[in-house]
Amino acid sequence: MTDLSFFHTPTSVAVIGASDNPDKIGGRPITYMTSLDYAGALYPVNPTRPTVQGLQAYPAVEDLPEVPDVAVVAVAGQAAVEAVGTCARLGVRGCVVMSSGFGETPDADGRRQQEEMLRAARETGMRIVGPNTQGLADFGSGAVLGFSTMFTEQPPADGPVAVVSQSGAMCSVPYGMLRRRGIGVRYAHATGNDADVSAAELAASVVADPDIRLLILYLEDIRSPAAVEELADVAARRGVPVVALSGGRSAGGQRAAASHTGALANETRVVDAFFERLGIWRARNSADLTAAVDLYLQEGARPAAGGGLAIVSNSGAICVLAADAAADHDLRLATFTRETRDGLVAALPAFAATANPVDVTAALMTDSTLFGKVLPVIGADPGVDACVIGIPVAGRGYDIPAIAADVSVFARDSGVPTAVAIAQPEVGEVFRAEGLAVFDDEDTAVASLSQVIRHAELTTAAAGRPRLSDRRPGASVSTLDEADSLDLLAGLGISTVAATRCRDVEATVAAFEARGGVPVVVKGCTSAVTHKSDLGLVRLGLADAEQVAAATADVLDIMARNDVTGGVLVAPMVRGALEVMVGAHLDPVFGPVVVLGAGGTAVEIAPDVRVLLPPFTADEARAAVASLRMAPLLGPVRGEEAADVDAWVDMAMRLGEEMVRPGSAVVSVDVNPVMLRRGAGAGATAVDAVVLAGDGATS
């Protein structure tokens, strides 16, 4: 891992384009570093002023008493390019280029200028953050190489969370959320265009900091999967959970990202698979990024070990709604033991509910000790692995500090991950001050508990997975026809339908008869047509020689009329099986990708597919199959055995192995349908396939 720590703890900082005005982007870094007692040397560079914000100013970087460790570039356009060039020449280690108007614009000049900066930096090994960045902030060292307004609005405090973001706003927003909740943030880094240093690379350096316990990451594209893998490795080694939001899941979002940070569109499903593979939690929106932070930081909470959720409230409705939320977020309710039930009956009024959920009722208004009585009983139940406590109404008449203390003792003593749902902010503050994880409502509380539990499972599953292979398609690619595609698959050890390639009517009739007269399909065999049915090139269920002859003549005629060359394929009808699909292709960023899912025409119009990034294990492929919407259809259903999922998984494994095999010419494979039979060992058969391969693959 490249050492980027000089960006966090520079020994000296020059601000090029330093401003006396603390509200200009060239003024903010100086204001922040001064007020935070940054211990290194701070050099304002401004040719027009002797001092800037009370500090001695210098006309140019060359005039500084030393070569600064890092320079902040707050001048625009060509001046920025020149400043970067000078810094590189002088031996500055890193530049943070805040100015915009470079690679993120459609403007050719701006793009050229960005390239020029990169070239200058590469020549001397200088690193660049940006351009078009809000900049970096390390509240451990006080080095604020950025201009975010949020640091004025929500004063900083050092702490265990790091925020790294391609976007300035999505650095400031999580920072602000966390600070408003009293949580300390050490790093608030924004990287902008990621022309040189990427957000992931910087994040890896940040996560290596032994004081960091959680990383919040915002990306608009992933150009180098290897950098994210490196980050995930460091995070896994240190046990730091990573919560990432990757903007641009939709077509509209991708268009916006392109003009924001010049982002490339990543395929959403591939990013999902990639993050899951690395044990990174994918947030869906900005609120998601920080929603569960309190739970991630909860001290002494033991990991959930497959037990259930306990729900306790002074409101029956919150009991109801939290149980609904548990179902929505896939958490099982704990079933209490006999001892627990007895203990609760002894502790509570007669009209309270003593099963799970536990409703201590509005009696809490007159007896503030109720939580203190019931929680130890619940904490001792071996089946309880998480707890949500809902207090929707409290205030006058309630001893809130005593209740908060009781809940806090419970969370600490039991080690049960505990989320408290409190609708009144002023009540919530009392619980937060006790170190508890407090949420605005029952749904967010349960969703966050579910997140930390699932995330821990994800991280465990990710441990030890090999890195992605990186292989790119060859320059010259051609589509194989169906017969060649099936042959290629058969060569990989994949079971394919016994198809015969024929040139004319006599040959197809002979092929039909050679099979003993079982019904066959006749298809045009050509790589020139993708949707053969649309042209009438697929004839199913031909049961006698006449039908076969007529269909062959028809198909050959249609092909001739459409100037399509090629023969026809005769294959037996495969029935009594589930139609599934398996495919593979080379993603431009992530390399080889295997896809499996429901087959037939469904895949185009209502896709039910999962993506796997090879190398993957058979267990991982089975887990992907199990998470399909169609999964229930694969099990043993009324009167029928379970489908032979292993045969399907085997196909996916073989495709994955081929895609990462050095020297393979296969660029993409689409096998649809695969006919998957029911019964252990019943197997699966590839019935139709299209393979794209680099030249030479068919030989």
Q: Is 562 in the site for its own copies (CB under 8 A)?
A: no
**Of the candidates 161, 141, 299, which has an alpha carbon nearest to the alpha carbon of residue 240?**
161
Q: Residue from 53, 165, 340, 685 that binds its own copies (CB under 8 A)?
A: 165
Residues belonging to the chain = 699
For residues 458-517, which are near its own copies according to CB under 8 A? none
User: Which residues within the stretch 434-463 sit at the binding site for its own copies (CB under 8 A)?
Assistant: 440-444
Complex with its own copies: residue 236 or 323, whichever CB lies closer: 323
Q: Closer CB to its own copies, residue 123 or residue 426?
A: 426
Q: Do residues 300 and 377 lie in contact, with contact meaning Cβ atoms separated by under 8 Å?
A: no
Q: Which of residues 316-345 bind its own copies (CB under 8 A)?
A: 316-321, 323-328, 333
List strand residue ranges (DSSP E) for 50-117, in order. Answer: 51-52, 55-56, 70-73, 94-97
- Chain positions 387 to 416 lying near its own copies, rule: CB under 8 A, are 392-398
Among 9, 35, 224, 286, binds its own copies (CB under 8 A): 286
Q: Kindly tell me which of 103 and 656 has the beta carbon lying closer to its own copies.
A: 103
Q: Which is nearer to its own copies, 249 or 432 (CB)?
A: 249
Which of 229, 276, 359, 658 contacts its own copies by CB under 8 A? 359
Q: Least distance from C-beta 62 to its own copies, angstroms?
A: 29
Q: How far is the CB of 58 from its own copies (least distance, A)?
A: 25
Residue 246 host element (H or E)? strand 242-246
Query: Tokens 């009370």 — which residue?
Result: 54
The pair of three-digit structure tokens given for residue 181, joined into one six-digit string: 């909740």
Binding its own copies (rule: CB under 8 A), the pick from 538, 545, 550, 682 is 538
Which SS3 state, helix, strand or coil, does residue 194 take?
A: coil
Through-space distance between the first and last CA atoms of the chain, rounded to whole angstroms: 43
Candidate ranges 195-203, 516-524, 625-633, 670-678; the one touching its own copies (CB under 8 A): 625-633
Closest distance of CB 453 from its own copies, Å: 17
157, 287, 514, 618: which one contacts its own copies (CB under 8 A)?
287
Residue 168 as a binder of its own copies (CB under 8 A): the answer is yes
Q: In the numeric block, which tokens belong to residue 154?
A: 């929500």
| Residue that has been written with the tokens 């916006």 in this structure | 256
Q: With respect to its own copies, which residue has the nearer C-beta, 285 or 460?
A: 285
Which of 154, 221, 214 is CA-nearest to residue 182?
A: 154
Q: Region of 516 please: left (phi>0), alpha (psi -120 to 50) or beta.
A: left
CA 297 to chain centre: 21
Backbone angles phi, psi at 653, to 5 degrees: -65, -45
Q: For residues 270 and 621, what is the distance between their CA atoms, to the nearest angstrom?
A: 15
Residue 23 binds its own copies, judged by CB under 8 A? yes
The minimum distance between CB 201 and its own copies, in angstroms, equals: 19
Which residue, 651, 647, 643, is CA-closest to 494? 651
Tokens 């016994």, located at residue: 498
Which positions from 229 through 248 interact with its own copies, judged by CB under 8 A? 245, 247-248
Binder of its own copies out of 46, 114, 266, 361 (CB under 8 A): 361
Q: Which is nearer to its own copies, 472 or 575 (by Cβ)?
A: 575
Strand pairing category for 41-45 and 12-16: parallel
C-beta neighbour count of 574 within 10 angstroms: 17
**Min CB(617)–its own copies separation in Å:** 26
Q: H/E/C letters for each residue in 491-559?
A: HCCCCECCCEEECCHHHHHHHHHHCCCCCEEEEEECCCCCCHHHHCCEEEEECCHHHHHHHHHHHHHHH
Alpha-carbon distance of 348 to 667, in angstroms, equals 67
Measured distance CA(37)–CA(31) in Å, rounded: 10
In whole angstroms, the minimum distance from the beta carbon of 445 to its own copies comes to: 10
Q: Does the footprint of its own copies cover residue 167 (CB under 8 A)?
A: yes
Interaction of residue 355 with its own copies, rule CB under 8 A: yes
Choice from 305, 350, 463, 475 touching its own copies (CB under 8 A): 350
Q: Which of residues 628-657 bind its own copies (CB under 8 A)?
A: 629-633, 635, 637-640
User: How many residues belong to the site for its own copies (CB under 8 A)?
Assistant: 113
**Residue of 229, 203, 174, 253 whose CA lies nearest to 464:** 229
> Which stretch in 64-72, 250-258, 504-512, 671-679 sits in contact with its own copies by CB under 8 A?
250-258
Interface residue with its own copies, options 46, 100, 485, 685 (CB under 8 A): 100
Could you say which DSSP state residue 687 is in? -
H/E stretch holding 32 reads helix 28-35
Among 152, 408, 479, 617, binds its own copies (CB under 8 A): 152
| String of DSSP letters for 169-185 | HHHHHHHHHHHHTT--E
Cα–Cα nearest to 260, from 164, 189, 176, 190: 190
State yes or no: residue 109 binds its own copies (CB under 8 A): no
Residue from 531, 563, 663, 699 in contact with its own copies (CB under 8 A):
531
Q: Which is nearer to its own copies, 498 or 630 (CB)?
A: 630
* d(C-alpha 643, C-alpha 628), whole Å: 14
**315 part of the interface to its own copies, by CB under 8 A:** yes
Nearer to its own copies, 257 or 653 (CB): 257
Tokens of 184: 């300390």
CB 552 to its own copies: min, Å: 18
Annotate each residue in 588-607 with x if it binds its own copies (CB under 8 A) or - if it does not, as one string: -------------xx-xxx-
